[in-house]
Structure 1
Amino acid sequence: MTDTQIVEIGLQAMTISAKMSAPTLLTALGIGFAISLFQSVTQIQEATLSFVPKAIACGAALLFAGNWMLHEMMTYTTQLFEKIPQLLAS
């Protein structure tokens, strides 16, 4: 196993982890921004007002993107397992 292969596997792992977390993080970011804008306009400072919609939206994002996330993770894992003989031979 060469250092180039190790860096490639690490880069792929970081890329897939960024792809997996993007739907929920972007949803939480968007909802959080909208709620904070609403709170600043109406001057309502209620902590649960920001938490509950974010939790519901993140759950919905996981529900809609879950199938894609599972497919991406299975593809990555399958490719990694297929590379094992090549990596051990190097």
Structure 2
Amino acid sequence: MSMEFVIHIGERAVMTTLLIAGPLLIIALVVGLVISIFQATTQIQEQTLAFIPKIVAVLIALVIFGPWMLTEIVSFTENIFMNLDKFVG
């Protein structure tokens, strides 16, 4: 197993992680920004107001993006197992 192969696998693992986590993080960011703007304009400073919409938005996004995320994870895992013979030698 060469150093380039290990770096390639590590790079692919990091990219897959970012690709899978990206949509959920972006949705949480956008919802948090909208709630913050709403709180600033109405001067409502309730801390729990920011958490509930974010949780609901992320859960809805998880339902929407879940099958795609699972497909990406399974594809990465299949690729690892297909190249298992390269790990030993």
Q: TM-score, normalised to structure 2's length?
A: 0.96
> 2:57 is matched with which residue?
57
Cα separation, 1, equivalents of 2:5 and 2:27: 34
Q: Kindly provide the CA deviation profile for residues 23-46 of structure 1, in whole angstroms up to 9, marking residues without a partner as x.
A: 210110000000000100111101
> 2:39 is matched with which residue?
39
1:9 and 2:21 equivalent?
no
Q: TM-score, normalised to structure 1's length?
A: 0.95
**2:53 counterpart SS class:** helix
CA RMSD of aligned residues (A): 0.8
- How many residue pairs get aligned? The number is 89
> 1:83 is matched with which residue?
83
Identity %: 37
Cα separation, 2, equivalents of 1:71 and 1:6: 23
Cα separation, 1, equivalents of 2:66 and 2:30: 19
> 1:30 is matched with which residue?
30
> Following TM superposition, where does structure 1 have runs of at least 4 consecutive aligned residues deviating by more than 2 angstroms?
86-89
Structure 2: gaps of 5 or more residues: none
Amino acid at match of 1:80: I
Cα separation, 1, equivalents of 2:53 and 2:86: 47
**2:83 counterpart SS class:** helix
